[in-house]
Structure 1
Amino acid sequence: MGFPRGRRRLVLAVAVLLAVAAVAVVVHRVLAPAEVSTPARAEYPPAPERAPGVIGRLPVAPLIVDGRLRVYAAHRQVYADRPVDGRYRTTPFWSYRRWPAELTGVVASGTIVVSRWSDGRLVALDASTGRVRWRADGPVPVPSTAVVRRTGAATVWNPSGLLLSDLPDGRTVVAVTGETRASGVELSSGRELWRTDLPGDCRSDVGTTATGRLIGLDTCAGTPTVEFRDAATGLVGERWRPPGGPDALVVTPLGCRTGRSECVALRTAGPGDAGGRGWILGGGEPSAAPTLDPAGVVVVGEQAVGVVDGVAVGRSARTGAELWRYAGLGPARVLTAQPGRVHLLTEANDLVTLDPTTGRLLSRSTLNVGSDGTGWAPGAVWAEAGYVAMERLREPVDPDAEDQRYYLTSEAVILAAT
């Protein structure tokens, strides 16, 4: 006995439809756009008082937020751990993940962490809880051809098309650029303040100024020109070229509070101008500052610091007057700076931190952890809240090598308190 032939066909068709529906449900659950937010379950940690010296090593680059957390970037995730001075990476304090979009950049100001995604979405998180504060749509990022290294340093330390600008009225603007559009979003609320069309791939971001302007380099007319755009309105105010500037212009921001944001100076260079020329930024056109011409000089507030014959020299960025000297470094270079601190790296990979105003030694430590030694070359570096984080590269450095050969160890990032 069995089902009649017609009924068997009906049962088989129903079974096939049910199977297809089940597969469709599974595929939808796996592939459909999704957002997973895992907020913090513990108290927001206090900012520690840490003695200067090497803290530990990490497999990925940390963004120090509010002096309390370390925030990291993964392919489709932004997450934080604690304590900020922990020797190793720990279980996430909070986590935020999106699918199928990819994370392309992270910036932070105060207790707000802003993530940018490959579909143009901006998502702001509260650093103290990990909860979403706001979401906003921005321009789709320009596709990057750069090699994405496993530390994620480019995503958190130098995100493309994602900048911060503090306005004179106390507000902070998140400036976001794509290939053909830019917009400004209020950091506290996610409210779009402005949007504007861009000419395409003939314009690039340089940074933001400490006076609330966005700096861009425009080559659309053939002759490179630096533009200054009001961060509050998106309108271009000044368009400037260095007098006698080269046809192929490279513009580097200097004296930035963090990353390429809140910068007080810049350097222009190009063919026939290899030494570069330094400029102080203000409300109008940049003012020439010959003290900033050498490529190894950094700016911290009103001071310019460089190394000459093993001696660190601090000068007034505006007048060039010498303010102080610190000798006994040997072969060394200025590594980076942050408010109130300038960091130098010796040939033996000692991290030397000086007060940029007086030249007083604040700390000195050998960048060695465990049995790793100091036989490595410095890579990308970040300084924030009294900490310095830096990639360690295997010598001789091969920029085309895969990560296993490129980095010194699997935990390539060293973290030090200064």
Structure 2
Amino acid sequence: MVIRLLRVVVPVVVLAASVLIGWRVLAPAEVLEPATGAYPVAVTLPPGTTGKTTMAPLIVDGRIRVYAGARLVKADGPVQAETMYTPLWSYRRWPQRLAGVVAVAATVVTRWSDGEVVALDGRTGEPVWRAAGPAAGSFTGRTGSAAVWAPPGLHTAGTSVLIAGGRQLTARAAADGTPRWAVTLPPGCGDGFVTAGGRYVCAAGAWDVLTGHPVRGWPNGPFSAVGCDVARSGCAGLRDGSGQGWLTGGRRPERAPRLDAPDATAAGDLVLSPAGGAVTAFRAGREVWRWAGAARVLGARAGRVVLLAADLRAVVLDAATGAQRAAFPLYVPDERVEPWQPDAWQLTDGFLAVQRLGPDAGGFYTTDPVVVAAL
């Protein structure tokens, strides 16, 4: 009798245990590992490379590096660390996939495949607010560069984060998630960008980022943004549907014929043209300075223009005069020195992070493809 009972009970117990384990593994869950150490101190360093990372970092608040994984977001620091360190904090949602990340000051805003938006305190990793939204795409790539440097449907504008999904565009205060406005976009708008002058622009028009009101008098799209910060925000210029260039640092676009050239970009009120073996800066159509040498313009921040020279040096110029402030190779010490190609990057007031591809652009340059430098 006892043996028969055991034959019945044991399989039931095993099945129940399996169900419990399966539930614990597969059930929807959020796992937070908050920071236990001190928040890194912001530092000013001499120009030069500081380290390299396996994943693409979003540099936040000049103090930490935030990384995107398929189902988690995590941070380490300080920014100038030579390699990736044990996370200061991490946040995971199961079974959802991470769609993108943006940051405003020390607030890190994450968006997930189920449309949930969760804002984290970058100093601790603790959630500070959350909001529901339309379903989003999901994580792609190995390093997470698209999620942190060009997140679909996520943009920043001053103290606001803009969330786009379907035809809905919503602005929320980054600090506490307070809704500021919401609009329904016209058909065919697509995911747009935010200009330095405070406009959200898509193929069908422009909207004021403070009020959500439509703005008239814009050229016809579709548009190609130039001179943007990460998350396609703070864009200094655009080219319209006919290929004409416009500066977008003001409330209304300003025609800039020098920006018509496909390789030209914008930085503040400057048009930067890397052509003819030099980088030339134009203001109001007139040349104001010229740097001799072939280079790609990586952007402008804090009164400086940053170039990637043909010999893979970072060159830092004074934006007003073109005077060279610094130049250094974008390799860390003891790293193999071979040709590579820039794939994506982030430029902040004090740092530059560049994701590097191999010479044939068929794969990453080494297992730690992102080089970080102080400017």
TM-score (norm 2): 0.92
Match of residue 31 from structure 1: 26
Match of residue 55 from structure 1: 50
1:114 and 2:92 are equivalent in the alignment: no
Structure 1 residue 25, shift from structure 2 partner:
1.8
Match of residue 85 from structure 1: 80
Check 1:291–1:354 CA distance in 2 against 1; reply closer, same or farther (3 A cut).
same
1:372 and 2:336 are equivalent in the alignment: yes
Q: What letter is aligned with 1:82?
A: G
- 1:358 pairs, out of 306, 312, 321, with 321
Note if contact 1:296-1:334 (Cα within 8 Å) is conserved in structure 2.
no
**Alignment partner of 2:23: what SS?**
helix
Residue-by-residue CA offset, 1:232-278 (whole Å, 9 max, x unaligned): 44343337444xxxxxx542223435441122321225xxx5xx311
Match of residue 169 from structure 2: 182
- 2:352 pairs, out of 388, 412, 415, with 388
Number of aligned residue pairs? 374
Match of residue 153 from structure 1: 145
Structure 1 residue 108, shift from structure 2 partner:
0.7
Equivalents in 1 of 2:215, 2:36: separation in Å?
A: 47
Equivalents in 2 of 1:82, 1:53: separation in Å?
A: 18
Note if contact 2:64-2:77 (Cα within 8 Å) is conserved in structure 1.
yes
Structure 1 residue 66, shift from structure 2 partner:
0.8
Note if contact 1:343-1:351 (Cα within 8 Å) is conserved in structure 2.
yes
1:323 and 2:288 are equivalent in the alignment: yes
Structure 1 residue 205, shift from structure 2 partner:
2.1
- Map 1:154-233; keep pairs closer than 5 Å: 154-166=146-158, 172-198=159-185, 202-218=188-204, 227-233=205-211
Equivalents in 2 of 1:360, 1:326: separation in Å?
A: 8
Unaligned runs of 5+ in 2: none
Match of residue 401 from structure 1: none
Check 1:182–1:341 CA distance in 2 against 1; reply closer, same or farther (3 A cut).
same
Task: Quote the RMSD (CA, aligned, Å).
Answer: 2.3
Note if contact 1:349-1:374 (Cα within 8 Å) is conserved in structure 2.
no
Match of residue 373 from structure 2: 416
1:344 and 2:307 are equivalent in the alignment: yes
1:251 and 2:251 are equivalent in the alignment: no
Check 1:374–1:355 CA distance in 2 against 1; reply closer, same or farther (3 A cut).
farther
Q: Identity of aligned pairs, percent?
A: 39
Note if contact 2:54-2:370 (Cα within 8 Å) is conserved in structure 1.
yes
- 2:240 pairs, out of 268, 280, 290, with 268
**Structure number with bigger Rg:** 1
Equivalents in 2 of 1:108, 1:349: separation in Å?
A: 29
- Map 1:275-294; keep pairs closer than 5 Å: 276-281=243-248, 285-294=252-261
Equivalents in 2 of 1:238, 1:189: separation in Å?
A: 31
Equivalents in 2 of 1:257, 1:413: separation in Å?
A: 18
Equivalents in 2 of 1:251, 1:132: separation in Å?
A: 36
1:75 and 2:47 are equivalent in the alignment: no
Match of residue 60 from structure 2: 65
Check 1:134–1:30 CA distance in 2 against 1; reply closer, same or farther (3 A cut).
same
Note if contact 2:98-2:111 (Cα within 8 Å) is conserved in structure 1.
yes
